Amino acid sequence: MIYLFVDSSGFGGIESHIHQLSLLLQSQQVGVEVVFLNRYPDHPLYAQLSQSNIPFRFLRDTSITRFFRGLSAVDVVHAHGYKASIIARGCRVLSGYHLVTTFHAGESVSGKLACYEWFNRYTACLSYNLAVSRKIQKRQPFRCELQRNFVHCKEDLVERDRHEVLQVGFVGRLSHEKAIDRFVSLSEKMPSIDFHVYGDGEQSALVNGLPLNWHGFVPSMAPHWQSLDVLLITSRAEGMPMAALEAMANGVVVISTDVGEMPSLLAPECLVVEARWQLLADKLLKIEGQSKAYWRMLSQQQQQVVRGNYSDQACWQQLSQIYQLS
């Protein structure tokens, strides 16, 4: 059995990754269960797991030590995030389970969170470690393997034309790292384009009351990708954003700053240097001004990239070896 262990109070890249990983394991007839350290009200991942018939439990309802003591050497615990990883490493003295941890965070942190992340890094000698980007991988003091995020791809390529008025979206937490302030600035300078924001967060005041389409937090982007032509990533820091992979798999063109793993994901014509993020406007204007065939070409190219390198099936061989299934 593979147990995906996490302490999650909201929905973001880690939660999306856990859902995709659960679906992949399920499709490969591998036993999987998501184990949450705590239960939080109205968490959207619970509903997604239920709809996908993926079992999950909460350790606050039992004993943490009892759960880990009941595991054996054939079980795998895959921990995500600093709290779950630290606990899983500490409990490994209770049982000889195979422990895998993934480092997801691409942004710098400070204060108490920085202390937790330091402890997470320097206890990593007790686990088999993965990172979702090369930048995150290089920060780890112990052996760490690159294992990029992935998404499920539809059997056939998505084929559609862009809207008459270009529809551009921001998807994610409204925060300094994700640079919602930059997205707002661009929207104010480009009135001929429709801008959409899907997400909520500590900087929601920057979008409240503005003449753009703020949809708030949505539990899944699946129903909304068809409403967008471009996903615009204005971030100051990233790992490998799940939103980018999901957008590309759904035929939405991604334009981004060159943060995290984005240069390995996108062609140069879809990237700008992070410090010169204002050039994102030129990328959008080119898509708006060119024929729909240009947008369709970018859409098809990006779908092929995801299918070849970032689909669940493309990543399965590496994962099966990590889990010692082959």
Distances (CA, A) of 255 to 94, 168, 312: 47, 10, 23
Contacts 24+ apart (CB under 8 A), 112-117: 116/82, 116/83, 116/86, 117/82
29-33, 165-169, 209-213: which range is least confident on average?
209-213
pLDDT of 12: 80
Q: Answer whether residue 271 is part of any domain.
A: yes
Reported as a pLDDT band with limits 50, 70 and 90, residue 135 is: confident
Tell me how many helices (H) and strands (E) the chain has: 12, 13
CA 268 to centroid of chain Cα atoms: 22
The model's pLDDT over 211-262, given as tens digits with 9 standing for 90+, comes to: 899 999 998 899 999 999 999 999 998 888 999 999 999 999 999 999 988 9
Number of domains in the chain: 2
Q: Answer whether residue 123 is part of any domain.
A: yes
Task: Give the Cα separation of 199 and 207 in Å (integer).
Answer: 10
pLDDT of 326: 63
Q: If you average pLDDT over residues 271-292, what whole number do you get?
A: 97
Task: Give the Cα separation of 66 and 84 in Å (integer).
Answer: 16
Q: Taking 90 as the threshold, does the pLDDT of residue 11 lie above it?
A: no
Based on the fold, state whether residues 197 and 286 are members of the same structural domain: yes
- Closest CA relative to residue 134, chosen from 290, 1, 265: 265
Strands of the sheet with 271-272, listed across from one edge: 213-216, 194-198, 167-171, 230-233, 253-257, 271-272
Distances (CA, A) of 260 to 128, 145, 222: 22, 16, 24
Q: What is the mean pLDDT of the chain?
A: 92
The whole model's pTM is what? 0.85
pLDDT of 44: 86
Q: Answer whether residue 158 is part of any domain.
A: no
Name the token pair of 122. 């320097």
Q: Would the CA dihedral through 313, 319, 324, 326 be positive or negative? A: positive
Name the token pair of 4. 């995906």
Q: If you average pLDDT over residues 154-173, what whole number do you get?
A: 93
Based on the fold, state whether residues 42 and 112 are members of the same structural domain: yes
DSSP string, 158-169: ---PPPSS-EEE
Q: Taking 80 as the threshold, does the pLDDT of residue 60 lie above it?
A: no
Based on the fold, state whether residues 299 and 316 are members of the same structural domain: no
How many C-beta neighbours within 10 Å does residue 326 have?
A: 9
Q: Taking 80 as the threshold, does the pLDDT of residue 106 lie above it?
A: no
112-116, 135-139, 236-240, 244-248: which range is least confident on average?
112-116
Q: Answer whether residue 137 is part of any domain.
A: yes
Based on the fold, state whether residues 90 and 20 are members of the same structural domain: yes
Reported as a pLDDT band with limits 50, 70 and 90, residue 307 is: very high
Q: Would you say how long the chain is, in residues?
A: 326
The model's pLDDT over 62-102, given as tens digits with 9 standing for 90+, comes to: 689 899 999 999 999 999 999 999 999 999 988 999 999 99
Based on the fold, state whether residues 291 and 316 are members of the same structural domain: no
Q: Answer whether residue 206 is part of any domain.
A: yes
Based on the fold, state whether residues 53 and 107 are members of the same structural domain: yes
pLDDT of 104: 86
Based on the fold, state whether residues 15 and 136 are members of the same structural domain: yes
Instruction: Give strand pairing partners of 4.
Output: 34, 78
Q: Answer whether residue 162 is part of any domain.
A: no
Radius of gyration for the chain, computed over Cα atoms and rounded to the nearest angstrom: 20
Based on the fold, state whether residues 284 and 178 are members of the same structural domain: yes
Task: Give the Cα separation of 300 and 251 in Å (integer).
Answer: 7
Based on the fold, state whether residues 181 and 193 are members of the same structural domain: yes
CATH code of the domain covering residue 58: 3.40.50.2000
Based on the fold, state whether residues 118 and 81 are members of the same structural domain: yes
pLDDT of 107: 60
Residue-range definition of the domain harbouring residue 272:
167-309
Percent of the chain with pLDDT over 70: 98
Q: Answer whether residue 157 is part of any domain.
A: no
Q: Would the CA dihedral through 280, 164, 241, 315 be positive or negative? A: negative
Task: Give the Cα separation of 95 and 113 in Å (integer).
Answer: 28
Based on the fold, state whether residues 238 and 189 are members of the same structural domain: yes
Q: Taking 70 as the threshold, does the pLDDT of residue 289 lie above it?
A: yes
- Closest CA relative to residue 156, chosen from 274, 85, 249: 249
Task: Give the Cα separation of 244 and 240 in Å (integer).
Answer: 8
Q: Answer whether residue 34 is part of any domain.
A: yes
Based on the fold, state whether residues 218 and 296 are members of the same structural domain: yes
Which residues have CB under 8 Å from 107's CB, separation 6+?
Answer: 177, 236, 237, 238
Task: Give the Cα separation of 288 and 232 in Å (integer).
Answer: 14
Residue 98: which H helix or E strand, with range?
strand 98-103
